[in-house]
Amino acid sequence: MNWSSFLFVLLAACANVVGGLMFVFKQNWSRRGLYALMAMSAGLLMAIAILDFIPDSLEHESSSPVFILLGMLSVYFFQQYVAGHFHYGEETHVHDHVKSTTVGAMVGMLIHTFFDGLSIAASFDVDFGLGITVFIAVLLHKIPDGLTISSIIFTLLQDQKKAIGAALLLGVSTLAGAVTAFVLSDFYLPGEQTIAVAIAFSSGIFLYVAATDLLPVVNAAGDRRAALFLFAGILLYFALQWGSNWLAPL
C-alpha cells in the first residue's frame, strides 16, 4: 500500500469540513433559508439514494433491496422504540424525534464517507491513474456532503458547533475508511458485495431521513419558494455527476 495516497484521502476529508464551514460561516439564517436548506438536503439525499446508491448496489448484490428496507427500518425502530421510548409529553417527544433524525442522518453519512475513504485508498493500490480518477469523483461531492449534514444538524439542533462537528466527523470517517484499507490491504479488502450491502443500507437511511423527517417539516411550513429547493438539491446531484464524468478521464 502506497501511504502517499493518504494525502489524497486527507484532501477529500478536508473537503467535508469545508462544506460544513461554508454553512456555519453565514450568520443569522432566516427561517425560510433553513427550510430551503432542508429541502435541498432532502433532494440531494434522495437523488444519491435512488440514482446512485441503489443502482450500484443492485449491480453487485441481488439482495440489496432487503438491506435498503433494513436501513429504513433501522431508523424507524430507533425513532419509535429507542429515542421515543422515554418521554413525558409532547415537548420531550419532539426532542426525541429530533435526536432520532440527527442519528439517522449521521449514520447514513458516516457509512457513505467511510467507503469514500476506503475506495480512494483501494483504487490507488490498484493503479495510480485509477486512484486519481476515483479521488476526483469522490472530491466533487465532498463539499456538498459537509454542507448537507451541517445544514441538517444546525436546523434540528440550532448549534453551530455541533454542525461543524458533524462535518468534521464525516472527514474522520473518510480517514477511517482509508486506514482500514491500508491495514487490510495485505490480507483482505471488502469485496464488491460487502460494499454493495453497505451502500444499500445507507440508501435506505437516506430515503427515510429525506422523506419522513425533512420533507414533512418543509411541507408543514407552507413556504412554496423554500420547497422549490428540493429540485435544487436534485439538480446539484446531476451537476456533480456531470463534473465527475467530465473530470474523470483526467
Cβ(19)–Cβ(167) under 8 Å? yes
Cell numbers placing 209: 431521513
Which H or E run includes 221?
helix 215-221
pLDDT at 55 over 50: yes
Task: State pLDDT tens for residues 123-134.
Answer: 787 667 767 767
Amino acid at 174: T
Closest to 158 (Cα-Cα) out of 24, 65, 6: 24
Residue, of 2 and 49, whose pLDDT is higher: 49
Q: How confident is the model at residue 147 (pLDDT cuts 50, 70, 90)?
A: confident
pLDDT mean over 152-171: 88
pLDDT mean over 154-161: 83
Q: How confident is the model at residue 1 (pLDDT cuts 50, 70, 90)?
A: low
Q: Mean pLDDT across the chain, nearest whole number? A: 80
Of the chain, the end-to-end C-alpha distance in Å amounts to 23
What is the pLDDT, as a whole number, of residue 89?
37
Compute how many other C-beta atoms are within 10 angstroms of the C-beta atom of residue 238.
11
